[in-house]
Structure 1
């Protein structure tokens, strides 16, 4: 937020600019055991939508990149924090947490349709270079699928799809 505020002054002075936020599929599709991460990404999406509306009529464009599963160090980093901060054995969610540990420890792709980080870089490039950038760039098949499901399914069914994905 501070960086956005700082660069907006320059962008206003020069009369144009691009602000691109990197969100996640979890910015619109809440999934179990990821509450803090879900909340931070939902907040980012709301902030981005607000900025885009507030900057309407200027030549400052705001876009969101919404990746799904991407090759990265995300799982090993999440595993380290999980082990440090979660009392697995003392939790009523112990069995579910054990499943999460298995997922986080898995070698290779943890999810189908995982793409390389270059897929995100390409979306950022399009957001920065397109004459009329889109509000959202959904990266990976799961992101596009869950965006569609959110629009067409009743909430109970959508919740079930999100539970099944975790």
Structure 2
């Protein structure tokens, strides 16, 4: 009889332990779950945050375009001033030399004008296209600047 009562006591202890463990685990699971309204609130906040980040990125993109337009406009204006200054300097050159310089200046003036037109006509059409346009345009502007520099260096000699 003693053995059976010990077995019953051990079984009872095990049952109480299992019941307590299951109750604690159930409570933790229940407390850890978000309600559906909390999930909706979390999702709405994530969408709002994503929209804010998108708007900020778009504003930075448009500001980059505007800054670049201003920068290139200044370079184009400087090129125009170089053309005017160069025309004044070559006025006293011999006729043959002057005609050669006038042709070169006309080419550079045309390229400068084309670059201005290209920049003015650019429409914001996505960041990737903007980066490609900006890279190509910067390369073309650098080449134009080098051509102006070469012309003035040759004239100084």
Structure number with the higher strand fraction is: 1
The structure having more radius of gyration, on CA atoms, is: 2
Structure with larger RCO (C-alpha < 8 A, sep 6+): 1
Q: Normalized against structure 1, the TM-score is what?
A: 0.27
Query: Under a length normalisation based on structure 2, what TM-score does the superposition of the two structures give?
Result: 0.28
Determine which structure has the larger helix proportion and give its number. Answer: 2
